[in-house]
């Protein structure tokens, strides 16, 4: 046991010595500063001058131990960046508030009962959407059941309005929710609650709590399993 232990200690010491001789810096490296800040003239360099073309007011060049030059933002550069970011934030917030205000002013009804055709259950409160890539079968007189043409969207998909209105409802609630977060305007909360109740709870306009006919292929009694993807925006 002890000889084996001594061998391991000797091997460890030997590896340590090899590591030191391999990676220990030379005298030249020890005497050289880690970073050297290059002098910068006021104003940007022209393309005819040597060295990188930089904006001296916003950036500083740092040279590392290998002689590679890197450009970093200085304090004025950060101030400029923050100023641009603030303007972008204000523009995005303005667009958000505009969208939320449009959603508040919108008096349209969002409901599953508005679709022009009924699902196989004949209940207008059942959510229904058509499978986007299924088309009438040309070999059948009635075209049923529809056949798959992957990648080719059937315009009939948008004729059943449940899917379109669902997406509008989700978008309006999302916009108004973010608008309330930034403004604390209770109007956005009230209209969001109204939209959610209108779609899910109101006896006259509510959607039944199922997706049995989502992603329906015409000619089938039930929707496809992919129909649940209609509600993917609820996770945003």
Q: Is pLDDT above 60 for 39? A: no
On average, the pLDDT of the chain sits at: 83
**Sequence-distant (≥ 6) Cβ neighbours of residue 27 within 8 angstroms:** none
> Is the per-residue pLDDT at 33 higher than 70?
no
pLDDT of 172? 97
pLDDT of residue 224: 93
Question: Is 142 a residue whose pLDDT tops 80?
Answer: yes
Where does the chain have alpha helices with state H? 2-23, 27-30, 75-105, 161-183, 186-200
- Pull the structure tokens for residue 84: 């641009």
- When pLDDT is averaged across residues 130-154 and rounded to a whole number, the result is 94
pLDDT score, position 13 = 75
* pLDDT above 90 (res 90): yes
Distances (CA, A) of 157 to 35, 105, 148: 63, 28, 13
- Closest to 194 in 3D by CA, of 108, 95, 94: 108
> Residue 25's pLDDT band (boundaries 50, 70, 90)?
low
Question: Closest by alpha carbon to 161, among 114, 126, 203?
Answer: 114
29 has pLDDT over 70: no
pLDDT per residue over 147-160, tens digit each?
Answer: 999 999 999 999 99
Q: What is the mean pLDDT of residues 196-223?
A: 96
CA–CA separation, 174 and 94 (whole Å): 15
CATH topology of domain 97-235: Glycosyltransferase (1.50.10)
Of 29-33, 117-121, 128-132, 210-214, the range with the lowest mean pLDDT is 29-33
Average pLDDT over residues 194-208: 97
With 0.85 as the threshold, say if the pTM is over it.
no
Predicted confidence at residue 44, as pLDDT, reads 45
User: What residue ranges of the chain are covered by domains with CATH 1.50.10.100?
Assistant: 97-235
């Amino acid at each position: 046991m002890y000889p084996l232990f001594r061998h391991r200690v000797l091997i460890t010491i030997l590896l340590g010595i090899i590591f030191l001789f391999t990676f220990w810096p030379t005298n030249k490296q020890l005497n050289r500063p880690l970073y050297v800040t290059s002098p910068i003239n006021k104003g940007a360099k022209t393309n005819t001058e040597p060295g990188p073309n930089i904006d001296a007011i916003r950036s500083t060049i740092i040279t590392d131990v290998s002689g590679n030059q890197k450009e970093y933002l200085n304090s004025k550069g950060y101030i400029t960046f923050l100023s641009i970011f603030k303007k972008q934030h204000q523009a995005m917030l303005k667009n958000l508030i505009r969208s939320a205000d449009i959603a508040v002013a919108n008096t349209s009804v969002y409901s599953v009962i508005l679709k022009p055709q009924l699902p196989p259950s004949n209940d207008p409160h059942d959510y229904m959407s058509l499978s986007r890539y299924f088309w009438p079968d040309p070999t059948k007189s009635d075209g049923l059941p529809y056949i798959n043409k992957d990648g080719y969207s059937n315009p009939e998909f948008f004729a059943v309005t449940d899917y379109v209105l669902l997406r509008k409802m989700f978008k309006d609630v999302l916009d108004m929710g973010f608008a309330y977060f930034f403004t604390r305007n209770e109007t956005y909360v009230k209209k969001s609650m109204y939209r959610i109740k209108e779609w899910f709870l109101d006896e006259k306009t509510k959607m039944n709590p199922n997706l049995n006919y989502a992603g329906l292929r015409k000619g089938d009694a039930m929707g496809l399993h992919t129909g649940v993807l209609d509600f993917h925006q609820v996770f945003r």
